[in-house]
Amino acid sequence: MLDGLKSHSKTVGLKQTMRALEADEVKMVYIAQDADQSLTSKVIDLCNNKKVEVYNVENMKTLGKNCGIDVGTAVAAILKD
């Protein structure tokens, strides 16, 4: 499931992902289960409005690692081709 983050164009982080969602550039979103829900709920709401698939990831560290960064991240997205 997370393999796409290594091979596709992506956003990493809340701000980048929100901008891409608002611009209708997102194919799917990954959200870390241990991220602050007050932040991720905004992403989830926008995904529901835009009909974008949302996948849960165990934790921020795992999501960050799969994005190719050394720190955790709450949100990442794969962009449309």
Spatial distance between the Cα atoms of 8 and 37, rounded to a whole number of angstroms: 26
Q: Where are the domains of the chain?
A: 4-79
CATH 3.30.1330.30 fits 4-79, yes or no: yes
pLDDT digits (tens, 9 = 90+) for 17-63: 999 999 999 999 999 999 999 999 999 999 999 999 999 999 999 99
Cβ partners under 8 Å of residue 40, min gap 6:
14, 31, 32, 74, 75
Give the global pTM.
Answer: 0.94
